[in-house]
């Protein structure tokens, strides 16, 4: 017989009747674990084929909170890209006494650190989207992963080889690789803005 609502309220009621007494000293540790386990168990037992709405079975606040975390990570990532790729990178060559070789050496260190942080932020976003999967979020995060992979595995190695030659004293014409990297950064900015906006929209609709 189809169920009209979510099974979480029934499980919550049963758990409250059968819950053993816990000392006050351990309550603050056991309580959250019991709540998470109970609600995720109700989510697993909720079968959409029987008319159960799984979106109502999620833990209270998990959807909005996770969407907020994804939005915060997205805009943090966006700020770092804007500050480094579009502000620090071109301006450092205008500083007095900064030669091309010195600027390239600084840029390699800065972008290497940025890419490592980006990988951490990407993992956080992937975990957040896995908790609250939405088609729009999944598509954007997949695009970010592919873009970052292209930058790290294809574009950056070529730029590093060129900078090695410049640092060795070789004079080279202007590189098109930098233009490709800038184009990818522009696409990354657009994806991060879209990711943050969609995540905030998920919070508003929760």
Is 114 domain-assigned?
Answer: yes
Is 106 domain-assigned?
Answer: yes
Instruction: Report how far residue 141's alpha carbon sits from residue 191's, in angstroms, rounded to the nearest whole number.
Output: 8
So what's the pLDDT on residue 135?
86
Q: Are residues 70 and 150 in the same domain?
A: yes
Q: Are residues 75 and 147 in the same domain?
A: yes
Structural domain count, the chain: 2
Among 101, 86, 90, smallest CA distance to 165 is for: 101
Q: Are residues 103 and 15 in the same domain?
A: no
Sign, CA torsion 38/54/123/74: negative
Q: Are residues 30 and 77 in the same domain?
A: no
DSSP characters over 124-145? HHHHHHHHS--HHHHHHHHHHH
Q: What secondary structure letter does DSSP report for 97?
A: T
Q: How many CB atoms lie within 10 A of CB 199?
A: 28
pTM: 0.69
Instruction: Give pLDDT tens digits for 173-196.
Output: 878 888 999 999 999 999 999 999
At residue 184, the 3 state secondary structure works out as: helix
The whole domain housing 13 covers: 8-56
Q: Are residues 52 and 69 in the same domain?
A: no
So what's the pLDDT on residue 134?
80
Between the alpha carbon of residue 59 and those of residues 46, 66, 156, 172, the distances in Å are 13, 11, 42, 58
Domain-terminating residue out of 56, 71, 87:
56
Q: Are residues 114 and 168 in the same domain?
A: yes
Instruction: Report how far residue 164's alpha carbon sits from residue 156's, in angstroms, rounded to the nearest whole number.
Output: 12
Is 1 domain-assigned?
Answer: no
Q: Are residues 111 and 169 in the same domain?
A: yes
Q: Are residues 32 and 127 in the same domain?
A: no
Instruction: Give pLDDT tens digits for 124-148.
Output: 999 988 887 788 889 999 999 999 9
Core vs surface per residue 161-188: b (16+ CB within 10 A) or e = ebbeeeeeeeeeeeeebeebbeebbeeb
Is 117 domain-assigned?
Answer: yes
Q: Are residues 37 and 129 in the same domain?
A: no
Instruction: Report how far residue 101's alpha carbon sits from residue 78's, in angstroms, rounded to the nearest whole number.
Output: 28
Q: Are residues 52 and 66 in the same domain?
A: no
Residues contacting residue 10 through CB under 8 Å, at least 6 positions apart: none
Is 2 domain-assigned?
Answer: no
So what's the pLDDT on residue 67?
82
So what's the pLDDT on residue 52?
58
Q: Are residues 81 and 110 in the same domain?
A: yes
pLDDT confidence band for 51 (50 / 70 / 90): low
Domain-terminating residue out of 39, 56, 73:
56
What mean pLDDT comes out for the span 87-96? Answer: 90
Residue 20 half-sphere exposure, CB side, CA atoms within 13 Å?
4
Q: Are residues 33 and 97 in the same domain?
A: no
Q: How many CB atoms lie within 10 A of CB 67?
A: 25
So what's the pLDDT on residue 205?
65
């Amino acid at each position: 017989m189809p169920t009209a609502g979510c099974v979480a309220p029934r499980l919550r009621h049963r758990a409250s009747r059968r819950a053993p007494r816990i000392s006050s000293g351990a309550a603050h540790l056991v309580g959250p674990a019991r709540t998470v386990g109970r609600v995720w168990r109700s989510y697993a037992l909720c079968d959409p084929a029987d008319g159960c709405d799984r979106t109502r079975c999620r833990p209270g606040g998990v959807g909005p909170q996770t969407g907020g975390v994804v939005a915060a990570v997205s805009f943090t990532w966006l700020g770092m890209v804007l500050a480094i790729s579009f502000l620090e990178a071109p301006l450092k060559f205008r500083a007095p006494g900064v030669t091309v070789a010195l600027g390239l050496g600084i840029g390699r260190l800065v972008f290497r650190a940025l890419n490592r942080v980006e990988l951490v932020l990407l993992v956080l976003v992937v975990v957040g989207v896995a908790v609250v999967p939405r088609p729009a979020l999944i598509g954007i995060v997949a695009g970010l992963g592919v873009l970052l992979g292209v930058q790290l595995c294809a574009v950056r190695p070529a730029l590093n080889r060129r900078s090695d030659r410049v640092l060795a004293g070789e004079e080279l014409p202007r590189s098109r690789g930098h233009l490709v990297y800038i184009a990818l950064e522009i696409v990354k900015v657009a994806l991060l803005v879209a990711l943050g906006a969609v995540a905030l929209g998920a919070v508003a609709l929760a």
